Amino acid sequence: MKIKYCILLLCFIITSSFTYGYFVHRNKIFPIKIIKEIFGNKTGSYILEEKAEKKQWYKDMKKERFNKIIVVYDYQPGYYIFTDKWYTNNLNDEKIIGKTLIQISRHRKENIEFFLNRNTFIYRVISDANDNSIYNDWEKTNFKLEINGLSCVHKEVVKKYFLKGTVKLNSGGPTSADPIFLDISNNNDIEIKTH
């Protein structure tokens, strides 16, 4: 009989502990904050990265990564849309095959400036999660793309005709930068301006 009570008591303690732990963690109630402050929940690699973030070389590397611009001529299915994410297009690739893709960082904030050596259409793939008022004077195309990301999905495609000369584009946002395609295929048709 004592064994039966001991087993029941043990089951009750385990169930109560699990339930209490679940609600404490889910609702961030006492003493979870104190435990985190005392013991922490950071992995070794997280601590190393945290220390590196304070170093100048890391700041320079991060800045370079976010400001990097790569011009990809003759776009083909499966190409990465951004310089720092493995996101690809999943719909109507045939509409953009052969176009030039300007790869920028997914969360770039700075404008993109380049020189066009010929007149061309520029396409932007936009997301409902962004402020798209900068595209009020752009024309909607008759096709959509699908570039899935964690923070948003880019689907709607707009275009605008640009004359030869300097072009300055807003990167998009605030949730994510907007992908850029051009109706050019020659590497002499565009020159990226770096600052």
User: What does the pLDDT look like over 119-142, one tens digit per residue?
Assistant: 999 999 999 999 999 999 999 999
- Compute the distance between CA of residue 83 and CA of residue 110 in angstroms, rounded to an integer: 15
Residue 156 lies in a domain: yes
Count: domains in the chain: 2
**What tens digit of pLDDT does each residue of 147-170 get?**
999 889 999 999 999 999 999 999
Residue 109 lies in a domain: yes
More confident position, 62 or 143: 143
Q: Residue 25 phi/psi, 5° resolution?
A: -70, -45
Its domain, for residue 12, covers 2-41
- Report which secondary-structure segment, H or E, holds 195: none
Q: How many helices (H) and strands (E) does the chain have?
A: 4, 9
CB 189 within 8 A of CB 99: no
> Could you tell me if 26 and 72 lie in one domain?
no
Residue 52 lies in a domain: no
Q: Name the DSSP class of 174.
A: S
> Could you tell me if 97 and 35 lie in one domain?
no
> Could you tell me if 165 and 76 lie in one domain?
yes
Q: What is the pLDDT of residue 120?
A: 96
Residue 80 lies in a domain: yes
- Compute the distance between CA of residue 46 and CA of residue 187 in angstroms, rounded to an integer: 41
> Could you tell me if 98 and 156 lie in one domain?
yes
Q: Which residue type does 7 have?
A: I
To the nearest whole number, what is the mean pLDDT of the chain? 84
On whether the pTM is more than 0.85, the answer is no
